[in-house]
């Protein structure tokens, strides 16, 4: 099979995706990867047209033949199809610099266009792949390539020769992978959320009860469990053993147990460790922010405040980055009008938002109540970690809120989808797109409130309540401790379950 840039890029993300693309498996239509491809294609077309307009017509060649490329006189080639052995690439653009003198070869510089403002190592490796294919055709190394990217059309020079060895290793691994009669073992990873094959792959993982379903588990940890004969979530669940923590270690952070997470999933019950209280001494203010990570900008701040008169939802919208300052100061003003506010959020995104906004536009007066509120927000995700185990494969807000019965209006609601909606709104200014984003953000705030109020409940239950009022919540300290006799009696039982 031919190794193309699409196959090469897919391998950098996931071996299974690489296999599926190479074998022409039809993808499932998902808006985010479709949007990314459309953005990149449009950006590439626009920038190439700009490059052509800046070059004399006599020096531009479109889709030139490569058979006699060394004798070519063009200075700029568009869509140059290069192929050698099992490698092929339609290089977006190639700049040719004539030889500096007799006996010296002309230099060929591949160019790749990327619409994002931030460049990852994957983009550099893709450019190095183009350079590698071109090197094969030319018969000598291509040392330099260029990536033109982002809103400001920044040019990044990449030493392709320094990445040539890594590209060679990767293409070798791809060739070995594609020579096999069957696909590689499926392993879910963070890229799945943005992949067009996410639905069938996830269903396959669920059918196999694969350990990679547990999103918090690293590859090293998964391989460690595999080396012990543990390959499924169910198998892992039988390895959990409750332990009583000595009083001298009561203040020490609890270790996260993947086996307890697996047990919660198998029993479909929330399990919690210890009897800590979640103290919210003030008025809860549930915060959720929408932004464009690639631009490091924010356009929507959602605040859900529980008052004596009911729930108040604030949706602070910015049409452009120029209005970011305005919504930040509106946010501070709202906080200053609340008696004893406690800012609550989920994950690190809002933590970064608060830090960046203070750096960009300043914060509230030193020593003020709002300054203290911003300095000590409550991250519910950090609080839950290693304390409360929901019977969900992932630990995101949506996974936990859905377990508690919450549903988003848009079935495809996600952070990636919000990026698509914002892009569509910027292009069309349709009111419906804006409403979709505001509603999605408000529902995130509502889900955050639901999860926060729920996690306050089980932690108030003491270890002595073996029979709890809520049957889907289990205090780990109420579980029987393992004993030598129990271990002997259950070893055979657990072994049988581990084999299943």
SS3 85: coil
Using alpha carbons, list the distances in angstroms from residue 389 to 54, 206, 225, 422, 465. 59, 19, 19, 34, 18
- DSSP, residue by residue, 369-434: HHHHHHHS-EEHHHHHTTTEE-SSSS-SHHHHHHHTT---SSTT-SHHHHHHHHHHHHHH--HHHH
**How does pLDDT run across 99-155, given as a tens digit for each residue?**
877 667 889 999 999 999 999 999 999 999 999 999 999 888 999 999 999 999 999
pTM for this predicted structure: 0.88
The structure tokens listed for 320 are: 């452009």
Phi, psi of 297 (to 5 degrees): -125, 160
- Predicted local confidence at residue 469, as pLDDT: 44
- Predicted local confidence at residue 488, as pLDDT: 38
> What is the C-alpha to C-alpha distance for residues 120 and 9, in angstroms, rounded to an integer?
12
**How does pLDDT run across 41-52, given as a tens digit for each residue?**
999 999 999 999
Beta pairing partners, 84: 87
List the single range of 118-127, 185-194, 474-483 with lowest mean pLDDT: 474-483
- Mind listing the domains of the chain with CATH numbers? 5-178 (3.90.320), 209-243+256-275+461-499 (no CATH), 283-456 (3.30.420)
**How does pLDDT run across 361-420, given as a tens digit for each residue?**
999 999 999 999 999 999 999 999 999 999 999 999 999 999 999 999 999 899 999 999
What phi-psi label fits residue 218: left (phi over 0), alpha (psi between -120 and 50 degrees) or beta?
beta
DSSP code of residue 186: P
- DSSP, residue by residue, 288-349: EEEEETTTTEEEEEEEEEEETTEEEEEEEE-SSGGGHHHHHHHHHHHHHTSSSEEEEE-SSH
**How does pLDDT run across 9-35, given as a tens digit for each residue?**
999 999 999 999 999 888 777 789 999
pLDDT confidence band for 249 (50 / 70 / 90): low
- Separation of first and last alpha carbons in the chain: 37
């Amino acid at each position: 099979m031919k190794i193309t840039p699409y196959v090469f890029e897919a391998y950098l993300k996931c071996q299974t995706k690489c296999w599926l693309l190479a074998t022409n498996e039809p993808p499932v239509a998902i808006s985010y990867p479709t949007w990314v491809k459309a953005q990149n294609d449009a950006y590439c077309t626009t920038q190439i047209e700009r490059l052509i307009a800046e070059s004399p017509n006599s020096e531009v060649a479109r889709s030139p033949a490569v058979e006699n490329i060394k004798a070519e006189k063009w200075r700029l080639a568009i869509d140059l199809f290069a192929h050698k052995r099992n490698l092929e690439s339609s290089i977006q653009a190639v700049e040719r610099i004539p030889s500096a003198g007799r006996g010296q070869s002309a230099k060929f510089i591949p160019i790749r266009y990327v619409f994002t403002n931030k460049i990852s190592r994957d983009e550099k490796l893709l450019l190095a792949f183009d350079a590698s294919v071109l090197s094969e055709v030319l018969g000598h190394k291509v040392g330099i390539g260029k990536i033109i990217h982002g809103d400001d059309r920044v040019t990044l020079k990449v030493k392709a020769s320094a990445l040539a060895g890594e590209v060679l290793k990767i293409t070798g691994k791809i060739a070995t992978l594609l020579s096999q009669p069957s696909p590689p073992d499926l392993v879910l990873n963070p890229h799945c959320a943005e992949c067009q094959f996410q639905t069938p792959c996830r269903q396959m993982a669920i059918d196999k009860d694969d350990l990679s379903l547990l999103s918090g588990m690293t590859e090293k940890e998964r391989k460690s469990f595999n080396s012990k004969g543990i390959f499924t979530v169910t198998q892992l669940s039988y390895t959990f053993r409750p332990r009583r923590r000595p009083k001298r270690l009561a203040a020490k952070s609890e270790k996260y147990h993947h086996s307890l997470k697996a047990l919660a999933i198998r029993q479909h019950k929330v399990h919690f460790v210890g009897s800590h209280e979640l103290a919210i001494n003030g008025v809860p203010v549930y915060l959720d922010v929408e932004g464009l990570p690639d631009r490091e900008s924010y356009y929507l701040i959602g605040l859900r405040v529980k008052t004596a008169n009911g729930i108040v939802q604030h949706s602070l919208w910015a049409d452009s980055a120029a209005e970011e300052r305005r919504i930040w100061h509106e946010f501070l003003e709202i906080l200053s009008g609340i008696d004893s506010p406690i800012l609550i959020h989920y994950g690190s995104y809002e933590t970064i938002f608060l830090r960046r906004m203070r750096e960009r536009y300043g914060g509230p007066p030193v020593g003020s109540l709002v300054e203290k509120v911003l300095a000590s927000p409550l991250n519910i995700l950090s609080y839950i970690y290693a304390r409360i185990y929901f019977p969900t494969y992932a630990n995101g807000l949506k996974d936990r809120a859905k377990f508690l019965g919450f549903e988003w209006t848009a079935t495809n609601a996600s952070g990636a989808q919000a990026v698509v909606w914002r892009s569509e709104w910027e292009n069309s200014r349709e009111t419906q797109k804006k409403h979709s984003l505001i509603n999605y953000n408000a529902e995130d705030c509502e889900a955050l409130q639901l999860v926060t109020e729920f996690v306050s409940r089980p932690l108030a239950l003491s270890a002595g309540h073996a029979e709890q009022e809520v049957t889907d919540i289990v205090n780990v300290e109420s579980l029987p401790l393992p004993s030598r006799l129990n271990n002997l009696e259950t070893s055979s039982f657990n072994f049988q379950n581990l084999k299943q």
